[in-house]
Structure 1
Amino acid sequence: MIDPLAEIVTLLEPAARFSKVVSAAGRWRVRRSEGGDPFYCVVLEGSCYLTVGEGEPIALEAGDFVLIPSAYAFSTSSLDPATPMDLSSTPTLLNGEFRLGEHNQPHDVRFLVGHCVFGSPDATLLVSLLPQFVHVRGDARLSSLVQLVVDESRAQRPAREVILVRLLEVLFIEALRSTASIGASPGLLRGLADERLAVAIRRMHENMNSPWTVAQLAKEACLSRSAFFERFTRAVGVAPMEYLLAWRMSMARKWLLRKEGSITEVAERVGYGSASAFSVAFTRHVGMPPARYARGGPDDIRQARAG
């Protein structure tokens, strides 16, 4: 059976960028303004606050795991209120670890933080289908997976990059499926947690080339058309046909880049009756015709990413 979550994480092509162990003491705060890279954190000892965007601070405890598939602005801080004087955006390397706050005191908290990158040209679109924030408490499996990622990233063993890609795929899937469905923000995870919607989502992935309509998908989910549309949109965050289009275009981009079939063949595989109809939809969605995308160089791919 097709697993939509595994398909999307695999298509994202996660790769390790860096990871580090950080310890802190006293009053401190670090603010980051990142470029949308996936961010993960596991608290090894003690506790601290994490604030994502303009949200309320979240208290993290030992064993907690956090995943932000697209991190733009977040901060970590001590539990004691930090003042502007406590801001330290450049941790100091001390005894093999990066240190925040007071250097002459025993640490109050230790945590492992890391960033990944997504190799997919459709990363922005695919990430939009995932929860914006994942917080898992007390999951030993995730902690073990993170440690394996760290160990592998620091070693120079044969096939290192291949192993890291596989470990990161497992890490992302495990983190996402470990999140309680009630606490997940709108996205694919909440859709798959709904038994009725999960059937329709799997049908879309299994038979992407079928001429699906909202009514047909509602029938698969054993819901009325209106109830299905409202329930799907509320859970996943996008309308059913918008989700289907996003998935079709993601697969089309993958196959075109890898030269896995002609434009006509790709059009048929993603559910279009003609190459011309596919070309119109692809151009509107991606920002350039499929022929240009298929033969494009780095500049074209970057333009498509930005679009």
Structure 2
Amino acid sequence: MADPFSEIITLLQPKASYSKLVHASGPFRVHRENVNEAFYCSLLTGRARLEVEGKEPLVLNAGDFVLIPAVKSFTFSSMDPPPPADLVNHPVEGEDGIFRLGASDADPEVQQLVGHCTFASPDADLLISLLPDLIFVRGEGRLAALTGLVRDEARANRPARDVIVENLLQVLLIEAFRSGADPAPTAGLLHGLADVRVGPSLRAMHAAPAHSWTVQALATEAGLSRSAFFTRFEGVMGMPPMSYLQNWRMTLAKHMLRAGDLSIAEISAQTGYGSSSAFSTAFSRYVGCPPARYSKTIATQ
């Protein structure tokens, strides 16, 4: 059976913007605006406070990990002692490659691995919308180890570095999402996969996107009546089942068109459309241009 979550992480094509080790001593506050990238932080020692726009502040302890797939702005500050109201620090890189906040000659009270990554997929906004908007994991050593590997590889000048970093980021993202079980999850893919009824229908769609799915057929996969399934799917996923299926089929179609390995007729068949004309009509309505023109536009970029 297909793993929808792994498919989405792979299609996102994560790329490392940067990853760094930060040491802080004394009071500090770092504020970032207009980030518009994925942000992750692994706290190695000490305590700190993370404030993200639209979220309750988080108190991080040693061993905690935070991942935000699409952060716009955030503030990271000390807890012991709290910073003065007007204090804003800027990390300074030392000769050893470590960034420091506060006195450079003092022993660090807080140590953290932080990083940003971007998603190369043109469909990143759609794919990210299926993921939780914040993951907070306490005391998971595997995440700290993976974050350290991403940092070390991103800073090195080794053969195939970009390929290794991309694969490490995929592993880091998957590990973070599956470790960050939320007792009250918001609508989205993780919530859907965890739902005993919605999960089987999601896996069925991803395993066979070419199948002629109907709401009734998906309801049978879920073991529910048609109306009960429709209501439950929409509540768990935040959209109706056929809208999710179309979004996924169009995402796959765009990926296939960018790869350039298949004809439009072959893509039509693999995404569940009975003819090239039916696929072209659906694609044009969804994307805004016919698949042939989309393919040519991608080729010239």
**Which whole-Å CA distance do the structure 2 matches of 1:210 and 1:239 have between them?**
18
**Which whole-Å CA distance do the structure 1 matches of 2:145 and 2:288 have between them?**
42
**Which whole-Å CA distance do the structure 2 matches of 1:35 and 1:152 have between them?**
23
Match of 1:251 in 2: 252
Could you say if the C-alpha distance between residues 159 and 215 of structure 1 is closer, same or farther in structure 2, counting changes exceeding 3 Å?
same
Match of 1:237 in 2: 238
Of stretches 127-136 and 101-110 in structure 1, the one that deviates more from structure 2 is 101-110
Is residue 210–residue 269 contact of structure 2 (8 Å, CA) maintained in 1? yes
**Which whole-Å CA distance do the structure 2 matches of 1:74 and 1:225 have between them?**
43
Is residue 258–residue 298 contact of structure 2 (8 Å, CA) maintained in 1? no
Match of 2:262 in 1: 261
Task: Kindly state the Cα deviation for residue 245 of structure 1 after the two structures are TM-superposed.
Answer: 1.3
The secondary structure found in structure 2 opposite 1:209 is coil
**Which whole-Å CA distance do the structure 2 matches of 1:191 and 1:137 have between them?**
23
One-letter amino acid of the structure 2 residue matched with residue 239 of structure 1: P
**Which whole-Å CA distance do the structure 2 matches of 1:64 and 1:231 have between them?**
33
Is residue 47–residue 61 contact of structure 2 (8 Å, CA) maintained in 1? yes
What is the TM-score when the length of structure 2 is the normalising length?
0.93
Match of 2:295 in 1: 294
Of stretches 16-25 and 3-12 in structure 1, the one that deviates more from structure 2 is 16-25
**Which whole-Å CA distance do the structure 2 matches of 1:21 and 1:34 have between them?**
22
**Which whole-Å CA distance do the structure 2 matches of 1:117 and 1:47 have between them?**
27
**1:57-96 paired onto structure 2 within 5 Å:** 57-79=57-79, 80-88=81-89, 90-94=90-94, 96=96
Determine if the alignment matches structure 1 residue 210 to structure 2 residue 216: no
Determine if the alignment matches structure 1 residue 43 to structure 2 residue 43: yes
**1:187-226 paired onto structure 2 within 5 Å:** 187-226=188-227
Please tell me the root mean square deviation across aligned C-alpha atoms, in Å: 1.9
**Which whole-Å CA distance do the structure 2 matches of 1:30 and 1:228 have between them?**
46
One-letter amino acid of the structure 2 residue matched with residue 171 of structure 1: L
**Which whole-Å CA distance do the structure 2 matches of 1:101 and 1:297 have between them?**
47
Task: Kindly state the Cα deviation for residue 169 of structure 1 after the two structures are TM-superposed.
Answer: 1.0
Of stretches 222-231 and 163-172 in structure 1, the one that deviates more from structure 2 is 222-231
Task: Kindly state the Cα deviation for residue 152 of structure 1 after the two structures are TM-superposed.
Answer: 1.2
Is residue 43–residue 110 contact of structure 1 (8 Å, CA) maintained in 2? yes
Match of 1:151 in 2: 152
Q: How many residues align?
A: 299
One-letter amino acid of the structure 1 residue matched with residue 275 of structure 2: S
Percent sequence identity is: 49
Task: Kindly state the Cα deviation for residue 227 of structure 1 after the two structures are TM-superposed.
Answer: 2.3
Is residue 249–residue 282 contact of structure 1 (8 Å, CA) maintained in 2? yes
What is the CA deviation profile of residues 164-195 of structure 1, one whole-angstrom value per residue up to 9, with x for unaligned ones? 12111111111111111424432111111112
Of stretches 150-159 and 57-66 in structure 1, the one that deviates more from structure 2 is 150-159
- Is there any run of 5+ residues in structure 2 with no aligned partner, and where? none
Task: Kindly state the Cα deviation for residue 117 of structure 1 after the two structures are TM-superposed.
Answer: 1.6
